[in-house]
Amino acid sequence: MNNRIRLITITAAILIFSLIPLFNKNMYHIDLLVTTGIFILLALGLNVIVGFAGLLNLGYAAFFAIGAYTYGLLNLHWQIPFWPSLIFSFISTALFGLLLASPTLRLGGDYLAIVTLGFGEIIRIILNNLDEITGGPNGLLGIAHPTFWNGDSFGVNPIPYYYLLLVLCVFTALALARVENSRIGRAWVAMREDELAASCMGVDLIRSKLLAFGLGAGIAGIAGCVFAAKQGTISPDSFDFILSVMILAMVVLGGLGSIRGAILGAFVLTLLPEMLRGFQMYRMLLFGIALILMMIFRPQGLMGDIKHREELRK
């Protein structure tokens, strides 16, 4: 019965979001939802690393940047269009995730956080200094927008990007739900709770960590590819440490390890600053107070209790 209710709820949510552009003609609102969709993908990807596997990552924006620059370089130098580049961005970013994970397999906690923070800053500095390849501080300009099947460009109209991100977010969330309930998903949870106990029970820690970093990074690569295609221009300043902290805050706010929590956290932290735009002078103050109160009165996150009960039933 619970599965049936869940299926009905998911179907209704997808249907409602599919109809939003038909009833809301405000392009600014649609564009804001497009930004929210990009952050949902990023939160879902980081949730794999931090929420499922328990590996603290403070440089997640670097994977976002790698995905964006992969498409930008492929499109500008080799005229490869958006759709195949989406796959290339996933693969290249996943490989960078494996590259980062390989030398850090024995690290955990604060040490792992410091290494990932350094990785994020190294990537940003490299993008800033490789002027001949990445354009340096000016970034890459003139990146092509995606095209429809008939060759027409998406252009700057946010509606096609909205539906593209809706499909990507739904597919990613459903795929992660399947992975979460699989053998590797249970291995991640065991590793997150106690690495020593998980190892004694036969969990391959090296393989589990590599898979978590690879999959989480690959999802960020997809988000980066869509971001670059929508903006048409990218620069290193768009992928700073503050962005990594914001994505981590989305995951923590929603509840570590919860797919629905990551989606909800992305919605709240993307839309809340816009809702407070009328209080321009006090917006960040109110935003910070809201987060502090959340951590005091609901440290497990918005969906943390539900996630904990689901794990106990498995």
Q: How confident is the model at residue 312 (pLDDT cuts 50, 70, 90)?
A: very low
- Tell me the C-alpha distance between 163 and 165, whole Å: 5
CB atoms inside a 10 Å sphere around CB 309: 9
User: Would you state the pLDDT for residue 271?
Assistant: 87
Q: By mean pLDDT, which of 106-115, 156-165, 222-231, 255-264 is the weakest?
A: 106-115
- Tell me the C-alpha distance between 83 and 70, whole Å: 13
Q: How confident is the model at residue 107 (pLDDT cuts 50, 70, 90)?
A: confident
pLDDT in tens, 130-145: 999 999 999 999 999 9
Q: What's the average model confidence in pLDDT over 262-279?
A: 83
The position carrying tokens 């003609």 is 25
User: Would you state the pLDDT for residue 305?
Assistant: 52
pLDDT at 314 over 60: no
Q: What's the average model confidence in pLDDT over 182-196?
A: 90
User: Would you state the pLDDT for residue 128?
Assistant: 94
Q: Is 106 exposed, middle or buried (0-12, 13-18, 19+ CB in 10 A)?
A: exposed
Q: How confident is the model at residue 112 (pLDDT cuts 50, 70, 90)?
A: confident
The position carrying tokens 């939802």 is 33
Q: What's the average model confidence in pLDDT over 92-111?
A: 87
